């Protein structure tokens, strides 16, 4: 009986509150936003988005031409550090600000680079707010599919498997997972490029790998891994297929 009452109370709270939308924006090119994302953002009264502490928000830059001029903006300054506590504190603060807007009856459009639930920061807000408020996730074009398209590199066919790996993995684990994979997408390359390149070269797979940075943006770079620069930005990826040379 108590659980039924609790559910009823939550449902009443949700009915009286605004709705939170986690809106995927795609990899960077505004034309890769979905029609639904464009419609929701263009009608927003409150938008929220993450930003690297002290820097402009990449998410906002994607949607800049769509955000209404009178919309209230909630900025979540998220520090980039290996320690989790500072980022978690930033999401706590952002969730609290979003909750105030929702409780006042306003819908909140949260801007998310790529897809909200694919390495997306929105999942941290979802974990904090979805039990109390009505939340809808609007999927977006992922960086993996964008990089594959820009590289002209099919990743999987028929019964082939695609393995997605984060670049910060330890060297031994990266090697073991790449060895057992068919096609691989390595994300979050950034400062881990030298380590990743060494693992792939040690496995004799460099000729099968492609380096992509800032896919879909004007400064996009697509190169065979052997020609990749010495340093990589955070928004970079390595694609690898063992079946054939992707440049043939």
pLDDT at 27 over 70: yes
Predicted pLDDT of residue 48: 98
Degrees to nearest 5, angle at CA 126 with 93 and 26: 100
Mean pLDDT of 31-42: 98
Q: How far apart are CA 72 and CA 70, in angstroms?
A: 7
Comparing 55 with 53, which gets the higher pLDDT? 55
Q: How far apart are CA 69 and CA 173, in angstroms?
A: 48
Predicted pLDDT of residue 45: 97
Pairing of strands 209-213, 236-241: antiparallel
Full set of structural domains in the chain with CATH? 2-138 (3.40.1010.10), 143-241 (3.30.950.10)
Residue 74 CA, chain-centre distance (Å), reads: 19
Mean pLDDT of 53-79: 93
Mean pLDDT of 104-124: 96
**Within 10 Å of residue 134's Cβ, how many Cβ atoms?**
18
Mean pLDDT of 52-79: 92
Q: What's the pLDDT band for 98 if we cut at 50, 70, 90?
A: very high
pLDDT at 104 over 70: yes
pLDDT tens-digit map of 127-178: 999 999 999 999 999 999 999 999 999 998 888 899 999 999 999 999 999 9
Predicted pLDDT of residue 246: 45
Instruction: Note whether 214 and 28 are within 8 A (CB).
Output: yes
Predicted pLDDT of residue 3: 56
Mean pLDDT of 216-238: 96
Mean pLDDT of 198-212: 97
pLDDT tens-digit map of 2-25: 554 344 345 545 567 999 999 999
Flag whether the pTM goes above 0.85: yes
Q: What's the pLDDT band for 90 if we cut at 50, 70, 90?
A: very high
* 36: enclosing H helix or E strand: helix 35-42
Any idea what DSSP says for residue 133?
A: S
């Amino acid at each position: 009986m108590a659980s039924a009452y609790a559910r009823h109370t939550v449902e009443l709270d949700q009915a009286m509150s605004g709705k939170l939308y986690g809106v995927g924006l795609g990899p960077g090119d505004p034309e890769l936003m979905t029609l639904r994302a464009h419609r929701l953002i263009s009608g927003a009264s409150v938008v929220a988005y993450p930003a690297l502490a002290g820097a402009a928000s990449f998410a906002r830059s994607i949607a800049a031409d769509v955000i209404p001029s009178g919309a209230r903006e909630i900025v979540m300054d998220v520090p980039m550090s290996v320690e989790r506590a500072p980022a978690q504190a930033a999401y706590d603060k952002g969730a609290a600000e979003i909750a105030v807007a929702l409780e006042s009856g306003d819908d909140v459009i949260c801007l998310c680079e790529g897809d909200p639930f694919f390495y997306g920061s929105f999942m941290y807000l979802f974990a904090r707010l979805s039990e109390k408020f009505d939340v809808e996730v609007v999927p977006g074009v992922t960086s993996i599919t964008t990089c594959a398209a820009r590289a002209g590199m099919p990743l999987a066919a028929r019964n082939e498997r695609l393995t997605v790996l984060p670049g910060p993995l330890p060297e031994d684990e990266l090697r073991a997972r790449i060895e057992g994979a068919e096609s691989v997408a390595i994300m979050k390359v950034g400062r881990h490029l030298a380590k990743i390149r060494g693992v792939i070269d040690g496995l004799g797979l460099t000729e099968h790998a492609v380096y992509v940075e800032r896919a879909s943006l004007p400064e996009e770079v697509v190169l065979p891994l052997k020609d990749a620069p010495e340093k990589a930005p955070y928004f970079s990826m390595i694609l690898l297929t063992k079946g054939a040379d992707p440049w043939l």
